[in-house]
Structure 1
Amino acid sequence: MASTDEPLSQWHEQLFFVLMLLQDLELKGAGFASDYSGDSLVALEREFLQRYTSSEQIAWPTRRTLTEGLAAYLGETLMRAAGGAWAWSTEQDIDGFSVGVPLITADSTLTVEPISPLRLLRDAAEVRDGQRFTAVYDRWSCAADEKKRADPTWKPVKEHTTADRPDPESIPLADWLTRRSGSFQDWADTYAPDTTWDFTPASLASLEELVRRVAPTEEMLFDHVNRDFLGGAVWYLGETMRRGLGGRWNWNLHKRGNRKFPYVEKLGPRGVRTCTPHLVIDAALEKPGYLTYRYELAAEQQ
């Protein structure tokens, strides 16, 4: 059987954009409230049946963006009812999807069968009773409710995806911050032992000079061999911004390639500025003084 890792990874990668296109383009003006609630599925299935008159249209290339957006929304809505995660099936039972289809698995403690949102779309188009989406949602919700009654302390666990709001308390972010903070002195001793790293705005000029010396091009900056160097530089820039201008770290799940970027938000006097250190450091390679400029910009009264 072919590996499911690559198509599943690609599906995760495109989730945010697929859902954005669904809400901001495909369903714009349709009166659809994309709040991932069970009630929203009633309006969604009604709109779906108006646009798809047969199940064959699900695989039409001209409908691909809408079809994938509907599948993504269905899956994310079900996970909010009963937890779970995205998975992948390589069964070739839907024409037009040669690498298989995404699946939704509920929280591992629930006895609920995985669902293929694409197959759910196909069933809805064939049965056409307007109740296929809500029937599955109710089944998953009931399973979760029964579990809660049996164990009031239980809560469904949903994998964090790009459809979720960034979580400043996320475990990956906490682990990254702990690791970077604990290793910073080693980083400083390795790359610039004679530099004073005191988290002041003036030290950002030294950081920028160091970046240009160690990794003067974008390719070198993001090369795997400089991963530790970049991580320390990113943490130092973000911490300098946070300590001087308030704010907090958060975790950006919208990827650039295979990278996930931590960032600092709620900066400045009004708490409305944001800084993504990876991108600021990258831009500074072509813009001398950019680190200091971004600090001063965040510090301005608006």
Structure 2
Amino acid sequence: MQDATEAKLDDWRERLEPMLAGLQDFVVGPDESLDNSVESLRDLEHTLLAETPAGQPPGEGLAEAAGGYLGEVLLTIGGGAWTWDPDSDLPVTDLGVGETAEPMRLVLDALVHRTGTVWSATYERIRALAATRRNEDRVWEPRRTDQPALHTETLDAAPTDPWLTHWLTIREQGFPEWSAATGRADDLDFSPESLLALEQIVRRRIPAKDALREPADDDFVQGAIWYVGEIARRHRDAHWRYTPDPTGTSKNPYVGRPFVEQDDHGNDAIPLLELEAAVLSDETGVLLDRFEVFD
């Protein structure tokens, strides 16, 4: 028989997805995105402050939805799951970095301090803890142990091709060393905005399109390919795909290269070709602009 705490947690999780959908439609608006980024937290915290005069309590629906989104973001970067705290009688996030965060308390903290930086500071602290955990355990990643409310969880979806399985394992395990070698490890946090940093790194290392296929640069390029695809996977519910090319003669760009694809929307991208576009262009933000192909 389900106890009262479990029932409250189940009720919270059932209400969370429609609450976040309403937050996007009626509060955030079409020009902003609930994309699990630190920028989205800053925007939402400023919206909360604008909607709540100093000294006044927040609207119950807005406070609850904002806390729900904050918790989802922290779980994305720190791993773990929602739990229910019987003492406060509120939902909390039991994070994979060894801490418990209380999103509803953080909503109240934002309204008390009114700096607009309470949530982003929490984000950066959890991100730092996750980075430390990765350095201590090279195969650790912030995996959700429950179902995200914003996107379908695909972190544990196993690719069917043995080559892709091996490639993904090698890239994931080697990421801490790869990112450290770029000199910009702190900027490579798997947020969509970090594509700006990756673009700068790639252009500095790769002077021309043909260099993307130079054997001497292969490990660097493979790491960049994986990073581009991982952002689509983590933020846009995309899946890694790979079609072998046994003869090595296929002219199909989707054959013999790992790519990412959204099952529901049919959008896809070949990360190597995205990197080529960035190297060939003189404009800033090419990778980020091309990321927008994903709904």
TM-score of the pair, normalised by structure 2? 0.49
- Structure showing greater Rg: 1
TM-score of the pair, normalised by structure 1? 0.48
